Structure 1
């Protein structure tokens, strides 16, 4: 699929939502002040299916301590809403924060997903940081690698992967 086709597909989907032809997802944002980043829970309110986007694993640089306080807020919200998590999405390799995705997967289930171009990032940074052969550069740390234009369903609501 060409870039123009993918963009048109996304625009069409937004237009269908605005015209009430397609159900809109419910989106809840969780702002993480220390890193100035946001995580999201995207859900289909009718089916109670959900995806978590760009979760944060708390890290206090001066002390070197970590915690899952931010991730636990997401877990509490998901459980209070009665959602089933199908996807835990990473939109990019995070330099701004650590990901809580594996922790959330352990607690809530779901598949870890990222764009397939992560393998390029892994190859480049594997060399820069002089990682040995034990560091996999094939995206195998994730359950699914998505291509530009590929769709994932959150309940009955399609999500479109856009490589930007």
Structure 2
């Protein structure tokens, strides 16, 4: 019955708890089972992950807006806090051998302005070198006057440590 409540609650458009309760009571009656109480149905609905509910009922864009990967922190001004993050892009490019591969993007984001201070685009797993290249671009003045972000941040956050190849060249 819990799975039925959850399935009904994740429908689009979002049904009311009363609708779900009536439907579950009908299903329980048809199967000759004891119907759950209205309170129990509401508890099951309330226990569904909020992210899953937004995704199911409002779609991908609403999910990204509410649960985006870049964590927003309150900042006092520009260059107060920056964030560095990697993402595997949903596009394919050709590598040196002409094989299609998905590139990675590393960005450095100013939390105050939400502007990109630096970035690097590359093939292969993220490394500390890729993060350093994006930070290098972020702290330096840009040649484009429309991109005025530069300087040193007070704090630089990175939610994922860079991927390292541990033990490369070692033999067991």
TM interval, shorter chain, is under 0.3
Of structures 1 and 2, the one scoring higher in RCO (CA 8 A, sep 6+) is: 1
**Radius of gyration: which is bigger?**
2
More helix by share: 2
More strand by share: 1
TM-score relative to the length of structure 1:
0.24
TM-score relative to the length of structure 2:
0.24
